[in-house]
Chains A and B, each alone.
Chain A
Amino acid sequence: IPACRTPGVKVPRNFRLLEELEEGQKGVGDGTVSWGLEDDEDIMLTRWTGMIIGPPRTIYENRMYSLKVECGPRYPESPPFVRFVTKINLNGVHNSNGVVDTRAVAALAKWQNSYSIRVVLQELRRLMMCKENMKLPQPPEGQLFSN
């Protein structure tokens, strides 16, 4: 785990993303979310895949949700684009294409440059545990959003 980030210092984008890549591979965190580069050859470190393990005692339990996370050129100053690949019924996620509404997720709406892909994934997972979400009827497992 890298040392505390000093406030005010802006870490260059690629450094940050490489750090996140490493954390993803080392399994930093509690093991309920996972993330990594979609394509190992992607030298711009733009396209990432994420995985969220559905939290227990919710309707998402035991399911694995795949996501696409895109870190644009202004990351980490700007939040990433996040989109569910696996179909899910969750407040804040567009039913048609799985795009996560930036305004619905606190981590995205109030993005800070100290946040990371992991924070976003964990927040989405936490949303699954909210009362308003935890019992939403879900599509059968294995379905994907059509682009």
Chain B
Amino acid sequence: MAENSGTDPTVDSNVVENAASDRTMIVVTVKTPKDKEEITISEDSSVAQFKEEISKRFNAKQDQLVLIFAGKILKDGDTLNQHSIKDGLTVHLVIKTAPNDTISSASSSGTPQANSSVNPSSAPNDSTTPDTGPTPASTQPPNLLSGFGDLSNLSGMGMGSANFMEMQQQMQRQLMSNPEMLSQIMDNPLVQNMMSNPDLMRQMIVTNPQMQQLMERNPEISHMLNNPELMRQTMELARNPAMMQEMMRNQDRALSNLESIPGGYNALRRMYTDIQEPMFSAAREQFGNNPFSALGGNLDSGVQPSRTENREPLPNPWGPPGTTPLESRGTGASTTTTTSAGGTAPSASNPLGINASGLGNGVFGSPGMQSLMQQISENPQLMQNMLSAPYMRSMMQSLAQNPDLASQGSNPTATTNPSQQQQQLMQQMLQMFAGGGGGSLTVTPEVRFQQQLDQLSAMGFINREANLQALIATGGDINAAIERLLGSQPS
């Protein structure tokens, strides 16, 4: 590394300005569990100086940074030399998200923390802790809870916290990752009051710009929103996870009934593309990812079964990485959206993404649905395609996380589905998902788990076959795979 006095304008900004020392520059990799950056710094620097650079690069305050090297915490007063930190080595970084610990303890803290608690209604605080890792970026578009925004703004003034957008993002994120929180919030009387006023709810939803777009695109949706009965049902459901499950089960059943109607598949598919796709595009804009976009793309208006997986071998719900952004998004964000899916295409009646209305009323009653059902009945292949599409995967993931749900979901389909083939298909898919196995189509598990396999073999698990099996069984989760491997190894 050439000695650099910092006067060269073309040098990029991460070079330490060597006012202090003109010694050799070294490149140190700084790794967080989520991120990795290379930082150039003088080899004589102190840990404090190092942290200064790091805080710039990672956008975090210096006192939030904890550096670990070779199992030791680096104190500000130490020097890199002291710890033998040399060029090319890696230092681990943990960014504390708040100066006071954000560990959620059994006792819910009444005092909201600096940038975290959001509750417009001072409902559960212990679960409103922000995620670990980098502070939330406020680059996300306004979320669905913008209706809550006013309220949270109010409390925001009291708390003097960061802008309410951030809070909303966090709340949203919390909600997405923690369905219990949602029901907790719902249980809060203030929220319930609010929700029992359908007009207010509708208002909130309508003011969300994405929803407005959605409504423009699809008048049926605004029609639904205008139906107070439906809204109320939605709220009921949101409030009551058990009821939600019930609903989903109903939908499962109803949907599987559809399978038996000739031409039913087409209808379902069209229902999906016409209604849900824009719906979820809107939702996606908030959540930053659209598990359904691929589906929307795959299902052209014409019947194109050949594009998606065929039946033998069983289609891979996860699909090739290219078409499914889902994997990158992880299941956290998709939990709420997709738990709703149950065994069915989520109804568009619930703007929160929670599957609401039973098929008997609401969406399915409309004339649109009738034609959909006709179409579906004309082409069974479509149904399969739809079911095997990427969005199923996200649903499957959430199902897998909640095995109860999965079993609920699979039972009705098993019992009510008259057609042997589809029954098998559904069961197999659900099992496959629950079992974590995957038929591979264009991406073999080996390729998918390449990285994990490498890690495992680096750890000394040399039996590649076994590693692969374990990874498949655990869906790529290295830690769980290790557990499996250790459990199965002869002692």
Q: Which residues of A are at the interface with B, using a C-beta cutoff of 8 A? A: 1-2, 4-5, 7, 21, 24-32, 34-38, 40, 48-51, 53, 56, 59-64, 66-67, 106-107, 109-110, 112, 114-116, 118-119, 122-123, 126, 129, 135, 137-138, 141
Q: How far, in whole Å, are A140 and B374 apart by their CA atoms in the complex?
A: 64
Q: Which residues of B are at the interface with A, using a C-beta cutoff of 8 A? A: 29, 31-33, 36, 66, 68-73, 84, 88-92, 94, 96-97, 101-106, 131-133, 454-455, 457-462, 478-479, 482-483, 486-487, 489, 491
Find out whether the CB atom of B460 lies under 8 angstroms from the CB atom of A112: yes
Q: How far, in whole Å, are A79 and B458 apart by their CA atoms in the complex?
A: 18
Contacts A1-B454, A62-B97, A115-B460 given; does A36 touch B106 at CB 8 Å: no
Question: Please, which residues of chain A bring their CB within 8 A of the CB of B89?
Answer: 25-27
Find out whether the CB atom of A36 lies under 8 angstroms from the CB atom of B69: yes
Find out whether the CB atom of B103 lies under 8 angstroms from the CB atom of A59: yes
Find out whether the CB atom of B102 lies under 8 angstroms from the CB atom of A62: yes
A46 to chain B, nearest CB (A): 14
Find out whether the CB atom of B479 lies under 8 angstroms from the CB atom of A4: no
Find out whether the CB atom of A40 lies under 8 angstroms from the CB atom of B489: no
Contacts A27-B92, A31-B32, A61-B132 given; does A36 touch B458 at CB 8 Å: no
Find out whether the CB atom of B71 lies under 8 angstroms from the CB atom of A56: no
Find out whether the CB atom of A48 lies under 8 angstroms from the CB atom of B71: yes
Question: Please, which residues of chain B bring their CB within 8 A of the CB of A51?
Answer: 68, 71-73, 92
| Given A31-B33, A62-B103; 8 other pairs, CB 8 A cutoff | A25-B89, A35-B70, A49-B70, A53-B68, A56-B131, A122-B479, A122-B482, A126-B482
Question: Please, which residues of chain A bring their CB within 8 A of the CB of B131?
Answer: 56
The 3 A-B pairs at the shortest CB distance, nearest first, are namely: A36-B70, A27-B90, A114-B460
A-B contact pairs, 10 of them (CB 8 A): A24-B71, A26-B90, A34-B70, A51-B73, A51-B92, A62-B94, A64-B68, A106-B486, A115-B459, A122-B482
B26 to chain A, nearest CB (A): 13
Residue of A nearest to B36 (CB): A31
Q: How far, in whole Å, are A38 and B132 apart by their CA atoms in the complex?
A: 29
Find out whether the CB atom of A137 lies under 8 angstroms from the CB atom of B460: no
Question: Please, which residues of chain B bring their CB within 8 A of the CB of A115?
Answer: 459-460
Contacts A59-B105, A119-B459 given; does A36 touch B91 at CB 8 Å: no
Q: How far, in whole Å, are A125 and B458 apart by their CA atoms in the complex?
A: 18
From B91, B94, B454, B489, residue with most partner A Cβ within 10 Å: B94
Question: Please, which residues of chain A bring their CB within 8 A of the CB of B103?
Answer: 59-63, 138
Q: How far, in whole Å, are A59 and B104 apart by their CA atoms in the complex?
A: 7
Find out whether the CB atom of B92 lies under 8 angstroms from the CB atom of A110: no
A7 to chain B, nearest CB (A): 6
A59 to chain B, nearest CB (A): 6
Question: Please, which residues of chain B bring their CB within 8 A of the CB of A123?
Answer: 482
From A27, A28, A35, A59, residue with most partner B Cβ within 10 Å: A27
B490 to chain A, nearest CB (A): 9
Pick from B68, B96, B460, B479: contact of A116, CB under 8 Å: B460
